[in-house]
Every structure is written in structure tokens, then in C-alpha cells.
Chain A
């Protein structure tokens, strides 16, 4: 009898486990804030529905007129994460994305909204994808302390830029005009443009060196930009960060100062001869911003 009761408890607990996931997905937790999907639903209708659509599937009334397309929340795939590629983002990641907005897209910074409002929106956005009820995000990647900027680091970064063939999409001068650039699409077959470093504008997923480090170690899921976490060691990643900053030629930065003092761009690794345009990459994400 005792065993039967125990089994019933186990069965009931097992049956209820998915529900705990649903409950978790109805909330968001950002620091001391707890966001509630119920409140977030109304806020979503006020602020987000025009682009992301009532079902969160990126089919809002404005979606046809927006480039790049809005994020399809139902796919549960997000560009800007602190978690490894393939993982769900943390609540903080989604909160940061709402807070920061996505530069050069139709997604503004919603920083003027109160933190509670943004937390409620995060909770509601998570209800669109069943992934949030079934999975938990992986732990955020570790970002080691940034080493000092020096010319040796920039040179190594320059060599990595050639070795990893970043130039194929971003172009040798980082203008977003590499031979593959025109062929890139996301997983929804929407054209997508590589970041133009020469513009000096903010990155979509942040603006600090640590943000840039995170971008190529986590990848931008849903886009052709892969994660380099398996190919690049942390110190190499920082070298790449330092070099990429020098591609933002008009932007004052320690990296540009160091490069200028060392004699300028001519001392860096010679550019790989550009190849004819490659076919569109096979890896695709969910697209949108």
C-alpha cells in the first residue's frame, strides 16, 4: 500500500512536471524583478503587436514593410544571447534586447518603459514558443577579462580575420560587402546583411568590447553568423575583438590609436584574395531581429 502511494506520488509529480515548466514560462526573473505574462500580454498589444503580430509569429501588420523582418518568437530562436549557440536565451538576455533595441532596424530601444513593464513583456514573449516550457537556458558563457590592447593583439586578430574567413561576409575592410554578402539569407529565406564595421554604429547585440566578444562566441542564432566558440580560444577572441575595432575607422577607440601609432593598416596581415561569391550558407536560423 505504501509502495502504491509512493508510485502515485511519483506519477502525479511526473505528470505535473511539464506544468511547472509552463508556470516558469509565464514568468520572467530579472534580478529582483518578476515579470508576469498576464500583464505582459496587454503591454505586448500596446507596444509590440504591430510588428511581431498577435501570435508572436512576426506577422504583424507592419511586418511586410520592415527590413529586416521582426523576430518570430514562436521559433524560440534569438540572436542576442549570453548562452551558447542553440540554447534559449536567459530572461536577462531578452530583457536586455528590449532595453537596447536593435540598431539600424525598426526595433527601438524600449528603455523609456519601466523595468517592470519590460520584465512583464519578457514573460509574455516566452509564452509564444513551447521551448520555454520544455527547456531551460544553458548557463551564460564565461567572458574572461579583456587583455590590454596592443599592436601584437591587433595583428593576431587580423590573421584570425583571414583564417576564419570573416571577410567573406564582412569584406576585407569590414564594410559588409564580402563576396558572400549579397547571397546571405536567414532561416526564413529573407535576405540579411552582414554588419558594416566601417559605419561605426552600435552592434545589434551591444556596443562594448565584451558584447563583441560575446557575439562571435555565442553566434547570432537565426542568421548565418555562427558561433566560433569551438574554433577560437578566449585570448584569440579578444585579439579578434581588438582587430575588429580597427575596422570602425571613424570611431575613436584605443585600438585605432594603437594601430595608428604602430604605422597604420599596412602592417596588418595581407588580405586573402577574394573569391567569387559563394553559395548561400546552409546554416539558417529563424531570421529577423
Chain B
């Protein structure tokens, strides 16, 4: 049992990805965190413009030649924390029914980000983020170079490498950190496969040496590998980006296929007087993923995926300000080929009663920024399946509701370092997804000391 709880905790916290806020920039320019962040890591429009300009203020002092030679654009972030997790239907051998409610709690660590970013030269920008999970296992969360203001135009910037998609509602700058609350469900939701229906599903045999498998668990909040063209107006009221991405969900080493995905986004802001800046936007991601691989001795040969099938995510969102109170509504629609959901070889004929699943998401996140040093966050999110994978499945199978509330208090606000005391509670309830086909609820309580230097 203790081992099970330990595994549970590791799985829970290993997934937390610290967000981006970069004191290296604050130190370079002598600006407090609050200049660029509503409350770090959430950007305000000044920060958005700074980011859109390629981490440049445009004062003819952006190039590194103007920095002290000893200046080193490095920052790191980690969050020591205490947290409690509860799962109402955790599978385990000790329960007579095979599942039971399980809670665990204790002191812990988040993962850690090392953030190195800035300019290599005027109008050549970089970001490198080696990131560790809470076990200290590193990967490259981001690594890109950007050519800014090509043809002397803000409307033409080209980024190359691994980067966050141009999501104005950024998961890398999310203000909630717990297991449940530390992500946007709409960005990561994948359809639930009804276990009561898969018993009769017979996967067709592939050609010799080939197997069918779902190759990626895509997340719109995950950093992706590719090339992005973007542009913006002088004050970033108007923004666009278009990206061509490898179909690997950001995994390095070309592990799947030779396919490419596309991401498009556009947003427009307008000034509403004393209420503040209002923004609306839309995005669309069109992706593909292989359903078959060549194998050697029964093992997948990386990079040989084929039989690609499609998936998509589209959405609209807003940033609506009423002075210190703001709302971020977002509505999404998503779908994917049933073969991806099932890991069903693309050349097999699907049995009757199977459809390409589609689902809709609604999210409203609200913030009350009492001062630059205190912000209250609340979020409600739901996912509703609009087309079940199996016709015979209950219509509400896999529906999801998520609630998160918390606050962050920043005892000081300087240009040298950031520190936040973070309290949060979050609940996720999914319908009929336990192994007993009952509803499953997970709760997270999180108290963290979030610091970045």
C-alpha cells in the first residue's frame, strides 16, 4: 500500500510543469516583475508586447553588446510545497471492488525550470529551458531561435525550434499549480474509451512486421517542435501566428512519423477606456498521428509510423477586463479519427457502431488583481462529449467538470527575483470513468512557496 501511494504521488507531481516568468529579463532591464506580469507568470499587455518584440524593449539597448559582460541571462524556478491528493476511485488490489477512495498528503517538490532567454543580437532572440521533473530527470522544455522584425516589419517574425504554441491563454503562464488545477483540461482532454465496449472489438492483424498503435497523446498546451511565422501591431493589439509542426507532440528524436501539423491563431484587442484592454481571438490546430509502425522483433521502429489519421482542436477565447477583475472565457471544439482513439490500424475496417469522437469545452477563468502583489484566481471548466466513440456508450461518458480556486501573494516585488505564497484547491469530476463505471472525483489541495531567481 505505501508503495502504491508513493507511485501515486510521483505520478501526480511528476506532471507539474512550472510556468514561465523570467527574472533574467527583469534584471537586464531593471523593471519589476509587475511591469510585464499582471501577477507573474500571467502577462499583461506590456509583457505581451515585450514577448512579441522578441524579448526587446526597442530602446536600442536590447542587443547583448550593451550588457555588462558578467550579465548571464539565467533564471530558475521551483516550488517546494505541501499538497493533499484524493482520488475517489483509485484502482487497487486491496479493495474488494477493485477501487476505493485513496488520499495522500505531505511535503514535496515540483519540477524545476532553468530559463535562459534574451537576445543573441539585435532582432535575434533565443530561449532555452532545460526542465527537470521532480525526480531531477531533465528534458528540453523549450529551445528556439527567433528572427525578429524581418524586412523591418513587426508583421514578420520567424521562430525555429521547440516552443510554446502562441496561446494567449497560456498554460505555461498558468496561475494554478496543483495536480488538478495546473493545466487546462481543454488543452489535454482525450476521449475516454468505454471498456464495456472494447471486449468485442477485434483488431485486424497487420501486415507482417507491422502493428497498430496510437502514437501520441496530444496536448495543445505542450510545447511543439517546428517553425512559426508570427506578427503583431505596434502595441500587439492585433496578433497572428501560423506554425508548421512535426507531428510528435514535441517529443524529440523523430519518434513517430514524417507527418506535419498546423497551428493558426489570431487575436484582436481594443481599448475600453477605464475598464482596460479587451481581447478576443481564435485558434485552430490540425494534426495527424500514425496508427501503424514498422517493427523489429516485435518492437516499434521509431520514426517509421504511417497510416496517419487526423485530429483537430479549434476554439475562441477572450480576455475581458473590468478594471481589477478580469475573465478569460474559452470555448473549444475538438475531434479525432476513431482509429486514433482506439489505436486501430488505419487499413482495418471499423466495426459498425463506432464514430469519430467529438467534444466541446467551456472554460471561464476569473482573476481579481487586488494589487500587483495579491491575486485571487477561480476557474470553472467542463468538457462535454458531443459524439461518443461507441454508439452504445452512455451519452455522458467521459464528461468532465473542473473547479479551481486559489490565490497568490507576492510579499515583495522587485526586479531581482520573484516569490509567491500559493494556496489552491482544485477538483475534477469525470463521469463513469472509474473501472466500476462510476463517477470519479479527484481533489487537490496545494500550498506552495513558488520562487524564481
Contact = CB atoms under 8 A, between A and B. Distances in A.
A103 interface: yes
A106 B29 contact: yes
Interface residues of A, number: 30
A199 B45 CA distance: 30
A45 B372 contact: yes
B137 interface: no
Interface string A105-118: 11111111111100
Nearest to A110: B46
Contacts of B271: 114-116
A111 B32 CA distance: 17
B372 A62 contact: no
Interface residues of B, number: 28
A61 B274 CA distance: 30
Contact of A108 (B29, B48, B277): B29
B249 to A, nearest CB: 33
B315 interface: no
Could you say which of A62, A110, A112, A113 has the most chain B C-beta atoms within 10 Å of its C-beta?
A: A112
B237 to A, nearest CB: 9
A50 B60 contact: no
A106 B29 CA distance: 6
B31 interface: yes
B80 interface: no
A51 interface: yes
Contacts of B35: 46-47, 50
A145 B31 CA distance: 40
A116 B273 contact: yes
A80 interface: no
B34 interface: yes
Interface string A45-83: 111011100000000011001100000000000000000
B274 A66 contact: no
B299 interface: no
A115 B277 CA distance: 10
B255 interface: no
Nearest to A47: B35
A201 interface: yes
A107 B61 CA distance: 10
B220 to A, nearest CB: 26
Interface of A: 42, 45-47, 49-51, 61-62, 65-66, 101-116, 199, 201-202
Interface of B: 29-32, 34-35, 45-46, 48-49, 57-61, 234-236, 271, 273-274, 276-277, 371-372, 413-415
26 contacts: A45-B413, A46-B372, A47-B31, A47-B35, A49-B32, A50-B31, A50-B35, A61-B414, A62-B30, A62-B31, A62-B415, A101-B57, A103-B59, A104-B60, A105-B59, A106-B29, A106-B30, A108-B29, A109-B58, A111-B234, A112-B46, A112-B48, A112-B236, A114-B277, A116-B274, A202-B60
